[in-house]
Amino acid sequence: MKSLMLLITLALFTDIALAGPLEDGVAAFKARDYARALQLWQPLAQEGNADAQYNLGLLYHKGWGVARDMKQAHEWYTQAANQGNTDAMYNLGVMYISGDGVFRSDRQALPLFEHAAARGHVPAMYNLGVMYAYGIGTGQDAARAIELWEQAVAKGSREAREALVQAYAQGLMGLALDPAKAAQWRSGAAKNSE
């Protein structure tokens, strides 16, 4: 029986439409000139720019242009997350759920995914749904899992669509088997309002 899995991938930063060192750092990053990106983002991050802080977290997390340093990654992600950067919240959640450079803690991942999901972060919605589906770091709540996956599907998540198909096709989380509903989700005919 196929089971649902948490999406354990890091969010990469999105294009930033601002001119200046942040955008120049993005261009350097895309050109794989990580040392230049670091040089451009470091002062911005130290001045409190959440996007630059997140980007530095990513460089340290992946070891791009710097020695891989999970303590630095955690520190920069935390600073960015505290300013509302949803990618940083999500990546911190991934670190905790997988134990990547930190003590594994479902309970610390949960609020990070909650905050990111509440702000529309689609992979966080999916992961949070999995956590509620199986009671990971929280009580099991099938209705909340379904709600989160439906929201993620409405924003284009294939993983969430597959989770809904599995939930109804296999009767996961105590749901009654519902092949018709599984087929609707599989075909894309089901709507977020169901």
pTM: predicted TM-score of the whole model, two decimal places = 0.86
Residue 4 to residue 27: CA distance in whole angstroms: 36
Q: Is residue 126 part of a domain?
A: yes
Q: Is residue 180 part of a domain?
A: yes
Total structural domains within the chain: 1
Q: Is residue 57 part of a domain?
A: no
pLDDT per residue, tens digit, the chain (194 aa), is: 334 555 555 555 545 445 688 889 999 999 999 999 999 999 999 999 999 999 999 999 999 999 999 999 999 999 999 999 999 999 999 999 999 999 999 999 999 999 999 999 999 999 999 999 999 999 999 999 999 999 999 999 999 999 999 999 999 988 888 889 899 898 876 654 44
Q: Is residue 185 part of a domain?
A: yes
Q: Is residue 5 part of a domain?
A: no
- 136 CB-near residues (< 8 Å, 6+ apart): 6, 97, 106, 130
The residue segments making up the domain with residue 149 are 113-194
Q: Is residue 184 part of a domain?
A: yes
Q: Is residue 46 part of a domain?
A: no
Q: Is residue 160 part of a domain?
A: yes
